């Protein structure tokens, strides 16, 4: 699990290799990740956009950018926590992801970036 706080917004990430949905012989490794977004600030904020950088161990990388997360643009009051789960396919048995969320303060419309800390996507076999 990794955690990072940017401007009062805490991002925590947990990952899981999904062996039951992967096909290593075909270079298909599925990882799920659970993200917790906690508003530790004193302002109400809304998550507007995401921007991901995805890397695997063969040197390949990709970017994913778009509105919200899992089809939502949640509004978080001070103290609120929003959690969601998503997934990533890699061609290798290890890689990593990092990125940013674009957030907006409701009081004045100010937009700011929140860092999503780099997290590792590694099969259990690779750790041995």
| Inter-CA distances, 15 with 12, 33, 87, 94, 123, Å | 10, 4, 9, 12, 10
57: β partners: none
Element holding 126 (H helix, E strand) = helix 124-127
For all residues of the chain together, what is the average pLDDT? 96
- φ/ψ of residue 109, rounded to 5: 80, 5
Q: Compute the average pLDDT of residues 76-87.
A: 98
Q: Which CATH number is associated with domain 2-127?
A: 2.60.40.1470
List pLDDT tens digits, range 50-69: 999 999 999 989 999 999 99
Question: What's this model's pTM, rounded to 2 decimal places?
Answer: 0.94
Residue 128 has pLDDT above 70, yes or no: no
Strands (E), 1-128: 2-6, 9-17, 29-39, 45-56, 61-67, 75-76, 81-90, 94-105, 111-122
Query: Over the Cα atoms of the chain, what is R_g?
Result: 16
User: How many of the other CB atoms lie within 10 Å of CB of 31?
Assistant: 24
């Amino acid at each position: 699990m990794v955690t990072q706080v940017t401007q009062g917004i805490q991002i925590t990430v947990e990952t899981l290799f999904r062996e039951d949905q992967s096909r290593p012989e075909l270079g298909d490794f599925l990882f799920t990740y659970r993200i917790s977004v906690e508003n530790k600030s004193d302002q109400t904020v809304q998550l507007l956009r995401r921007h991901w950088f995805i890397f695997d161990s063969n040197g390949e990388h990709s970017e994913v950018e778009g509105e919200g997360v899992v089809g939502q643009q949640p509004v978080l009051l001070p103290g609120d926590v929003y959690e969601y789960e998503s997934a990533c396919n890699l061609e290798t048995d290890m890689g990593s992801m990092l990125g940013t969320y674009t957030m907006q303060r409701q009081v004045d419309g100010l937009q700011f970036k929140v860092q999503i800390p780099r997290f590792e996507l590694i099969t259990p076999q690779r750790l041995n």
